[in-house]
Structure formats: C-alpha cells, structure tokens
C-alpha cells in the first residue's frame, strides 16, 4: 500500500483512522480529501499534520475532476466521507442522497478508471434496520427506516455494484455506534457529557429503551485496517462492539461518571423515527482476526475526560444551541406542513 486516499479524514472516525494508518511502515503517503462540513475539522487530525506522509486536500467528493486527480497513483481508498448525523437526515434528506450515494459513485468511478488495489467503503449497522430480536449477518436483508440509513444502504449497493460489474476490489465494513474522543457534540455521548459538564439537563427520548451496540472508535479503525489489508473483494464485514445498552442504561453510566443523578434528566417525546434495536453478528470479521479489545467502561471514562479537558474543541461547535434548536424545529415544522 504505497499511497492511500482517505475521504472524510477530518471527521470523527476518519481522523482516528488517518493517525493509525500513518504509522504503518508500508504506507508512503496518506491523502485526506475532506470538504470540512460542519462535521469535519482540521483540528481532529492534530499531530497527524506533523507527519511528512500526510497531504490534506480541502475538497468535495462530488468534484469528479479533483477526485480523479487524487485517485490516480493511489493503491487504496478508504471512504468515510458522508453525511452521517441521523437527526439531520430527517429534514435534509437530499444532502444525504447527494453526498452518500452520488459521492460514493464518484469515488468508485475513479477507482475503476485507475485500477486501485483495494476500496473500503465504510458503512453502518443501521442499513439492516431495527431488529427486535436476533442479529443481522452480512446476508441479512437491508431494511433501513431513516433517510440516513437508506442513503448508506444505497451507497453500499452502488459500491458493491462496481465490484460485480467492473471488478473494482470493493469491501464494505458495517460498524455499530462508535464512541471516543472528538466526536461531534451533536451525538449522544458527547451531547450528554458536555451538557452535564455545563450543568445542563439531559433530554432522554421516549421510553429510553432503544438498544444500541457500542464500539470504541479505535476498535472500528483496527477492523477497517484489517479489511483494507485482508478483506476479500466483493465481501461485506460487520464490525460489532461488545456492549449493548439501552439509552437509559447509557444515561445511567454517564450520570455516574459525572457525579450527577436522575434529577438532571427530562423525558421528552421520542424523535421522529427511532429504531428499537440494532444488532449484528460479527463472525465473518472474526475470521479475519477482528476482536474489539477496548473495555467499554474504560473507553467511556476516557472519552468523558477528553470532553472535560478540551472545551475549546467542542464548545465553539455549540456556540448558540438555542438558535440551532430553533432552526431545527422550524425546519421540521415546515417539513411537516409540506407533508400535511
Ligand atoms: P463525521 O460526520 O464525523 O465525518 C464525516 C466527514 O466527511 C467530515 O469530515 C465531513 O467534512 C466529510 N464530508 C462530508 N461530506 C463531504 C463531501 N461531500 N466531500 C468530502 N468530505 C465530506 O462521520 P463519522 O462519524 O466519522 O463517520 C464516518 C463514516 O462512518 C460515515 O460514512 C458513517 O456513515 C460511517 N459510520 C459512522 C458510525 C458512527 O457511529 N459515527 C457508525 C457506523 C458507520
């Protein structure tokens, strides 16, 4: 692997992956292509900028000319860039389809033209949709319920179609909910941690019984690197973590870590669509040697500690939460009116 293109490398998971892959001896150059949307920040790459192997390109995966120039000469692509925040997809589905589906097709086109040796498309357990019981294997039907998950399912199929049609060596990874340092403060663990740090109340959606599987971001990146190196082209690999929690159980752990109690929690109506449970079977990735090794409680404590020590990194992203909430609810109201 001489030169690797990482799309979305200034985002949460992508930036952790860039730091990891930069330290691989057989990687000569890592090119990060990132549009620096609200979710992408150069600061996430931090010390990675010290590496002479890193080239950072501020640009859009929809820019076919730019993508073509960057893919030329790359032996591998790891494709993280996406619109990834489920709640935003409820009122801006178009951006999700454009970036996630058309963006993936643009990257796959360039991968085909330049004969890359491996293309890892990074996806999610949400494509399988809710599973009240049991676990989804890689052959389970795709039953996404929200625009984010539907756009990811479509992007998985587009990526895999380039394997079947043109022989592009595509692998798809589907991971569960990631957590770890410098995740955007809109996501539940950062949101609840930062609200508690500010002495603000938490809002728990619905009955708080929705189950998510939690995977430390470093474990996901290790799994993605494994698939990059050893994954069989045309195959999908589920990357699950070891910890299933309801949102109520997760809240209890965060309250305990921050020395707060249930008086800090208000119950609010459930969000527009909230799948009851996701669960994946991870045997296939285990066959490649994938094992999530990070202890959940320890990882959570370190994550909360990162938010405690780095308010300069997250507070500016929530500078005016009231205004953001008003904009969000206004957008949702107008969407409802449009569908009335
Ligand atoms: P993120 O939102 O933190 O990062 C996405 C990055 O993509 C940002 O840096 C953003 O600037 C960039 N980007 C967005 N649109 C772009 C465009 N048009 N051109 C170039 N760059 C663009 O997301 P994340 O949480 O790091 O997730 C990374 C990938 O992993 C996504 O594909 C997501 O669907 C998938 N995933 C995430 C999770 C999770 O728990 N966070 C779980 C499973 C799968």
**What class is the 2-178+213-239 domain?**
alpha beta
Substitution candidate for ligand 1 out of 5, 7, 10, 13 with most atoms within 8 A of CB: 13
Ligand 1 lined by 173 (C-beta under 6 Å): no
- Distance of alpha carbon 202 from alpha carbon 196, whole angstroms: 7
Q: Is-catalytic flag, 126? A: yes
CB of 122 sitting under 6 A from ligand 1: yes
Q: State how beta strands 211-216 and 243-246 pair.
A: antiparallel
Please work out, in degrees rounded to the nearest 5, the angle formed at the alpha carbon of residue 61 by the alpha carbons of 113 and 176: 105
Ligand 1 geometric centre to CA of 119 (Å): 16
How far, in Å, is the centroid of ligand 1 from the Cα of 81? 5
Query: Is the distance from the beta carbon of residue 144 to the nearest atom of ligand 1 less than 6 Å?
Result: no
Question: Distance between CA atoms of 127 and 139, rounded to whole angstroms?
Answer: 12
CA 308 to chain CA mean position, Å:
22
Q: What is the pLDDT of residue 272?
A: 80
CA-based nearest residue to 126, from 177, 187, 171, 166: 177
Low-confidence stretches of the chain (pLDDT < 70) are 319-340
Among the residues of 38-137, which ranges form H helices?
A: 64-71, 86-89, 93-96, 103-114
* The residue count for the chain: 340
Q: Phi and psi (nearest 5°) for 267?
A: -90, 130
Beta-carbon contacts of 73 under 8 Å, excluding residues fewer than 6 positions away, are: 3, 114
Provide φ and ψ at 178, rounded to 5°: -85, 150
Q: For the whole model, what pTM was predicted?
A: 0.94
The answer to whether the CB of 37 is under 6 A from ligand 1 is: yes
For residue range 309-333, what is the model confidence (pLDDT) as tens digits? 999 999 999 855 444 444 444 444 4
CA 337 to chain centre: 31
Residue 13 alpha carbon, nearest atom of ligand 1 = 26
Nearest-angstrom CA–CA distance, 105 and 112: 10
pLDDT in tens, 183-208: 999 999 999 999 999 999 999 999 99
Q: How far apart are CA 81 and CA 102, in angstroms?
A: 12
In angstroms, the Cα distances linking 162 to 62, 97, 110, 169 are 17, 18, 11, 8
């Amino acid at each position: 692997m001489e030169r690797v293109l990482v799309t979305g490398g200034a985002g949460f998971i992508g930036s952790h992956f860039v730091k990891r892959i930069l330290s691989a001896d057989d990687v000569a150059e890592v090119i990060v292509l990132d549009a620096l949307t609200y979710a992408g920040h150069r600061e996430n790459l931090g010390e990675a900028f010290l590496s002479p192997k890193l080239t950072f390109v501020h640009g859009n995966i929809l820019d076919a000319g730019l993508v073509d120039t960057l893919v030329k000469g790359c032996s591998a692509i790891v494709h993280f860039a996406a619109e990834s925040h489920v709640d935003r997809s409820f009122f801006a589905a178009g951006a999700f389809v454009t970036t996630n589906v058309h963006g993936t097709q643009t990257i796959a086109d360039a991968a085909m033209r330049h004969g890359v040796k491996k293309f890892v498309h990074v996806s999610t357990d949400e494509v399988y949709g809710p599973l009240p019981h049991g676990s989804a294997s890689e052959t389970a039907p795709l039953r996404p319920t929200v625009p984010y998950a539907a756009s990811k399912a479509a992007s998985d199929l587009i990526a895999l179609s380039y394997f079947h049609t043109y022989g592009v060596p595509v692998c798809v990874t589907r991971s569960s909910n990631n957590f770890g340092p410098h995740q955007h403060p809109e996501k539940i663990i950062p949101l609840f941690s930062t609200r508690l740090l500010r002495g603000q109340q938490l809002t728990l959606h619905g009955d708080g019984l929705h189950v998510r599987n939690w995977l430390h971001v470093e474990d996901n990146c290790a799994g993605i690197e494994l698939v990059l190196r050893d994954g069989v082209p045309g195959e999908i690999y589920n990357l699950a973590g070891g910890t299933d929690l309801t949102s109520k159980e997760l809240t209890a752990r965060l309250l305990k870590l921050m020395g707060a109690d249930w008086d800090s929690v208000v119950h609010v109506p459930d969000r527009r669509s909230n799948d009851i449970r996701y669960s994946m079977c991870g045997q296939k990735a285990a066959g490649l040697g994938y094992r999530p090794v990070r202890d959940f409680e320890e990882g959570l404590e370190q994550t909360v500690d990162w938010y405690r020590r780095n308010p300069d990194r997250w507070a500016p992203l929530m500078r005016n939460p009231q205004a953001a909430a008003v904009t969000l609810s206004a957008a949702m109201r107008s969407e409802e009116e449009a569908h009335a």
